Amino acid sequence: MSNQDETTEAMTTQEPEGGEVGTQVGEPLALPAAGTTEEPARTDEAAQVEGVTVEEAVTLFYVSLSTLRRRLQKGEVPGASLAPGPKGQAWRIPPASLEALGYKPKQVREVEVKAAQVSAEAENLEAQVRDLKAALEVERVLRESAQKEAELLRSNVEDLRTALAKLPAALPPGKPSRWWRRKGSE
Q: Would residue 123 count as lying in a domain? A: yes
Q: Would residue 182 count as lying in a domain? A: no
Q: Do 134 and 100 fall within a single domain? A: no
Q: Would residue 145 count as lying in a domain? A: yes
Helix (H, G, I), strand (E, B), or coil: what is residue 82?
A: strand
* pLDDT computed for residue 61 by the predictor: 87
Q: Would residue 186 count as lying in a domain? A: no
Q: How many CA atoms lie within 13 A of 123 on its CB side?
A: 6
Which domain range does residue 130 map to? Answer: 107-165
* pLDDT computed for residue 111 by the predictor: 67
Domain stop point among 55, 81, 106: 106
Q: Do 112 and 160 fall within a single domain? A: yes
* pLDDT computed for residue 126 by the predictor: 94
Q: Do 111 and 149 fall within a single domain? A: yes
Q: Would residue 15 count as lying in a domain? A: no
Q: What is the DSSP letter of 77?
A: S
Q: Do 114 and 61 fall within a single domain? A: no
This prediction has a pTM of: 0.34
Q: Would residue 79 count as lying in a domain? A: yes
Please state the length of the chain. 186
Q: What is the pLDDT of residues 51-101, one digit of tens each?
A: 888 888 888 888 889 999 999 999 988 888 888 877 888 889 998 888 888
Q: Would residue 173 count as lying in a domain? A: no
Q: Do 44 and 102 fall within a single domain? A: yes
Q: In the chain, where does DSSP find H-type helix?
A: 3-11, 44-50, 54-60, 65-74, 95-100, 108-170
